[in-house]
Structure formats: structure tokens, C-alpha cells
């Protein structure tokens, strides 16, 4: 559907000062044989009927098409590639040497060029398993300064040891699914899930409310950025949406001493489960957009009781249209109430 905004100015086609419209519409761009619908805008002159580009527009239709293509195929976005490289303190030149790529290749990917599928697999292997980066370093140690080789070898070994005793085991056990509309087109990221849990539990919070806060954070971020924060799939239960396997995650955080648990007697012989963080969450794991959404959700439901947020979640279209026990599709985020 086209949306028009009336404006006045000089048309570069007929060179007349006249009225013209800023048109917002959808355009189909073909990316590697696939048709991708993206938002575009341009000016239409009412005098000559010509169309011309809005040079002040922030809309880059090709970039939007590439981003949508990456999202649909579970590929890394430019900022994720940049974040991955910087997390190891590597320059573009250093990582390019380790990967055996041309000097400009990585720079192009970080600045929005659509990555080659083979290169995507290599980047994904490094992101999903630090051991793969360690193998690259050990196979080509002269690609980096000696001091950096020593530092990275030490840091990566620490990361591997921690991952295999904590997140990695759970990801392999519970996150063995491809990114799709049920996971917000993201692989399960337990580092971010655990950090989000600790973030919401900095003040005492009942388990029922915690599950809804996680749901709203993931679906809100998907609504605004077409990708979830944690890659968690959410089930429809009688008390509203809940993260799949949430009992395992909470139990692990308790066992690791990161969460404190207390049973609270409630009316009608009900026992509430209240959680409190024992460690501060590492907020550096989140992208700026992710942290912004977490803060918005926490503020939005600050004064909600567990019962009130349950009732609120029952009004979500995704909850109403999903059978009990079924996964709630992230496509319902378009109708999210917040």
C-alpha cells in the first residue's frame, strides 16, 4: 500500500516549483534469486508525473533487502560480524589474514555487503565455537603479532573451558534447532538468555512474571528489529507464554549460585516462587538495541503483579491463536500490545 505526504519544491525533471508527494511503498528486490519486499520512498511530481530520489532519505532499500535476506537465512548481520571480530581484539587485517581472505573482503561485509555463503559458514563456525578460531591461530601463528597470539590462545582456552562446563552443554542439548519464525530467526544464545534472566531478577520477581518479561523482551525486539534477543522458543501455557525448557535454565543458574530462590506462601494455599540475582548481569553481551528493549520492558511492567501481567499476556493475539502447549510464532509480534 502506498502512503503519500504532500510537499512543495522544485522538481529536477521539469524544473518547476510545484507540489509533489513523498511516496512510501513496497518494492521487490531480487537477492540471489529470491524476491525480497522492502520499504522504499521517492518523490512524485504532480506537474510532470515524474519520479525522483529523495536524497535526504535514510532508507537504503538494497541494505534493507540484504538484511532481510540474512534474517531469513540465519546469517550474521554486519554489526554482528564487527562485534565478533572486536570481541577478540582483532583488526580487520588480522582476522582477514587468519581466514585467508583478501584485505577488503571483511571490511565490505562489516559495511553492509552481502557475504558469500562459504564465508558466512566460516564466520558462523568461529562465532558458534571459539575452538575453530583457536585452530586458525595455531595453524597460522605468524598471521598475528606474537603477543596477541599468546593472549588470544589463553583467552580462548578460558572461554572454551567455561562454555563446555556451562552454556555450551545446554545449547547442544536444548538448542539443536535451526533459526526460524519460532525462534525469532536466531539460534539459541544462552549467554544472552542467562544475562536477561539476571537482569530482570535484580529485584525480587516471581517466576510467572519473569517468564512474561522474557517473552515481551524477545518479541518486542523482534517487532522492532526482525530478530529476537535470545533465540528462545516460547510455549503457550495456561499462565501465559513461557520459554521452552525454562525450568532447566533456572535450575542451572541456581546450582551455579547466580540466582537465589525462595518459596512464598500465597492465598488459596498457593506457593509462589520468587527469584533474586546473586550476581550482576554482564550487560556488555547485548547489542545496544537489545539493551534498550530490556530496559523498556522492565519499565513498562515495573508495577505489574504476576497476576496482572498474566492477564495482560492472555490478550496477545499470538497467545489466543496458538493451541495450548504449542510454540508461539514470532510473526505475532506485529500485533504485540507494547
Task: Write down the pTM of the prediction.
Answer: 0.57
pLDDT digits (tens, 9 = 90+) for 16-46: 888 777 777 788 999 999 999 888 887 888 7
Give 91's strand partners: none
Share of the chain above pLDDT 70, in %: 89
Output the nine-digit C-alpha cell for 111: 559495511
* Per-residue model confidence as pLDDT tens digits over 171-180: 666 666 788 9
- Whether the predicted pLDDT of 286 surpasses 90: yes
Q: Give residue-wise pLDDT tens across range 248-269.
A: 889 889 988 999 988 877 666 5
The pLDDT-based confidence of 69 (bands split at 50, 70, 90) is very high
Buried b (16+ CB within 10 A) or exposed e, 59-96: eebeebbbbbbbbbebbbbbebbbebbeebebebebbb
pLDDT classification of 234: cutoffs 50, 70, 90: very high
- Mean model confidence pLDDT for the chain: 88
Q: What percent of the chain has pLDDT over 90?
A: 59
Q: Which three cell numbers stand for residue 191?
A: 549467554
Amino acid at each position: 500500500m502506498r502512503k503519500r505526504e504532500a510537499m512543495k519544491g522544485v522538481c529536477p525533471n521539469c524544473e518547476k516549483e510545484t507540489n509533489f508527494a513523498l511516496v512510501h511503498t513496497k518494492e521487490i528486490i531480487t537477492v540471489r534469486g529470491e524476491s525480497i519486499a522492502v520499504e522504499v520512498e521517492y518523490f512524485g511530481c504532480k506537474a510532470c508525473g515524474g519520479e525522483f530520489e529523495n536524497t535526504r532519505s535514510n532508507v537504503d532499500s538494497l541494505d534493507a533487502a540484504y538484511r532481510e535476506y540474512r534474517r531469513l537465512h540465519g546469517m550474521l548481520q554486519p554489526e554482528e560480524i564487527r562485534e565478533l571480530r572486536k570481541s577478540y581484539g582483532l583488526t580487520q587485517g588480522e582476522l582477514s589474514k587468519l581466514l585467508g581472505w583478501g584485505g577488503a573482503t571483511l571490511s565490505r561485509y562489516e559495511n553492509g555487503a552481502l557475504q558469500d555463503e562459504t564465508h558466512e559458514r566460516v564466520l558462523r563456525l568461529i562465532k558458534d565455537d571459539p575452538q575453530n578460531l583457536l585452530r586458525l591461530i595455531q595453524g597460522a601463528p605468524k598471521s598475528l603479532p606474537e603477543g596477541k597470539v599468546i593472549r588470544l590462545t589463553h583467552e580462548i582456552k578460558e572461554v572454551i573451558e567455561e562454555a563446555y562446563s556451562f552454556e555450551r552443554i545446554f545449547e547442544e542439548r536444548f538448542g539443536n534447532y535451526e533459526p526460524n519464525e519460532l525462534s525469532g530467526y536466531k539460534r539459541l544464545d544462552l549467554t544472552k538468555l542467562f544475562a536477561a534472566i539476571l537482569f530482570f531478577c535484580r529485584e525480587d520477581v516471581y517466576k510467572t512474571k519473569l517468564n512474561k518479561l522474557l517473552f515481551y523482551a524477545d518479541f518486542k525486539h523482534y517487532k522492532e528489529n526482525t530478530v529476537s534477543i535470545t533465540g528462545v522458543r516460547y510455549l503457550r501455557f495456561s499462565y501465559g507464554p513461557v520459554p521452552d525448557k525454562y525450568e532447566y535454565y533456572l535450575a542451572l543458574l541456581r546450582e551455579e549460585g547466580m540466582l537465589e530462590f525462595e518459596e512464598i506462601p500465597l492465598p488459596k494455599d498457593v506457593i509462589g516462587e520468587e527469584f533474586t540475582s546473586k550476581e550482576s548481569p554482564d550487560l556488555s553481551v547485548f547489542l545496544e538495541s537489545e539493551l534498550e528493549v530490556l530496559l523498556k520492558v522492565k519499565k513498562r511492567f515495573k508495577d505489574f503483579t504476576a497476576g496482572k501481567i498474566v492477564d495482560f499476556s492472555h490478550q496477545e493475539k499470538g497467545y489466543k491463536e496458538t493451541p495450548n502447549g504449542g510454540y508461539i510464532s514470532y510473526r505475532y509480534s506485529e500485533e504485540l500490545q507494547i
